[in-house]
Structure 1
Amino acid sequence: MNFTYEVIPVENMEDCRDLCNELMSFQKSKAYIAPERFDSMNFDTRMVPSVKKALHNYIVIVKDGDKTAGYVYSNVSPKETYSNEFATFFDLSSVSGSNVGCLSQFYIKEEYRKYGIGSVLFDMSMKWLHQFQDVDDYFIFVSNGNENALEFYKRKGFSVSHDILDGFITVLRSGRKVLISEKR
């Protein structure tokens, strides 16, 4: 396997369409609370609006030769972005600054899991997020049923903050202290 990690500009986010849609299908397959909510979630309803509302976006695609293996999408957004018609994701008054960092979407195709890709993508995202000195609060939102992702993020220094939408999403949180793995 020959993995390459390519940071792509927002103008090329269309390259993530299939991966994002696979992520939504994967999340639905794992969900035991309201899986039907995923029926309306796809690249156009999740990634596109998120990119448009964010102040800064970071997208990395992983390839194995010419095959796409996965991606990560992180952003820095005004904290008010996370209080909308869908849900209020966290107590806005608990965030010290006006912006938050979010590891928003993260997906690795099943056949590529267990090769360390997740740790590389996580580290790249955290390094990118840490460059914004005005951001002290980082969030990750994990859909119900995705226990592997939940445990992965906890091992990386995030803590469960609370659940929203009656357990549909678990909110993980960390401050600037999140450590970037030493292994690459």
Structure 2
Amino acid sequence: MAITYEVIDNENIECCRDLCNELMVFQKSKARIAPELFDNMNFDTRMIPSIQSAIYNYVAIVKDDNHIVGYVYSNVSSKETYSNDFATFFDLSSVSKANVGCLSQFYIKEEYRGHGIGSVLFDMSMKWLNQFDEIDDYFVFVSNGNDDALEFYQRKGFQYSHEILDGFISVLRNNSR
């Protein structure tokens, strides 16, 4: 493996299309609650709108030679962004500042898992998020059935907060700044 990491700008996110779509298929395959909700989730309905509504975006990709094998997408957004027609993701009054940090999407192809790549991407993302003084609260939203992801984030300091949409999503939070 010839692994490299690269931060890309918003104009180049198209290179994440296939992996984002793979992530949605993967999440559906793991889901025990309402897997059909993933049927309409893809790059165009999840990543593009999120990037457009965020204040700041961060996308890092991982390559093996020239093949993209994983990515992480994080953002800083107004806390009101997380109360919409789909769901209210957390109690807005529990967040003291106007903005929150979110590790929004994280995916590594299966054959590249277990090699520390996820930890590198996570650390890159958290380093980026930690530079913003206007946020104290960081969130990760884990789809039901993705127990490996839930455990990964908990090992990295995120605590289980609550579930939304009748258990479809687990909300993890870190506000230890």
Q: Same fold (TM over 0.5)?
A: yes
| Alignment deviations for residues 18-53 of structure 1 (CA, whole Å, 9 cap, x no partner) | 000000000000001000000000000000000000
1:66-145 aligned at under 5 Å gives the runs: 66-145=66-145
The answer as to 2:21 corresponding to 1:42 is no
Contact 1:130/1:176 (<8 A) preserved: no
1:51-66 aligned at under 5 Å gives the runs: 51-66=51-66
AA matched with 2:130: H
AA matched with 1:23: L
Structure 1: runs of 5 or more not aligned: 178-184
Aligned-residue identity in percent: 75
Q: Which residue of 2 aligns with 1:161?
A: 161
Output the CA distance in 2 between the equivalents of 1:43 and 1:82.
19
TM-score when normalising by structure 2: 0.99
The answer as to 2:32 corresponding to 1:32 is yes
| Alignment deviations for residues 123-151 of structure 1 (CA, whole Å, 9 cap, x no partner) | 00000000000100000000000000000
AA matched with 2:59: I
- Runs (4 or more) in structure 1 with deviation over 3 Å come to none
Aligned residue pairs total: 177
Cα deviation for residue 176 of structure 1 reads: 4.1
Output the CA distance in 1 between the equivalents of 2:121 and 2:48.
20
AA matched with 2:7: V
Cα deviation for residue 66 of structure 1 reads: 1.5
Cα deviation for residue 89 of structure 1 reads: 0.1
AA matched with 1:12: N
Output the CA distance in 1 between the equivalents of 2:126 and 2:68.
22
Output the CA distance in 1 between the equivalents of 2:141 and 2:15.
23
CA-based RMSD? 0.6
| Alignment deviations for residues 81-121 of structure 1 (CA, whole Å, 9 cap, x no partner) | 00000000000000010000000000000000011000000
Cα deviation for residue 163 of structure 1 reads: 0.1
Output the CA distance in 2 between the equivalents of 1:26 and 1:167.
18
TM-score when normalising by structure 1: 0.95
Structure 2: runs of 5 or more not aligned: none
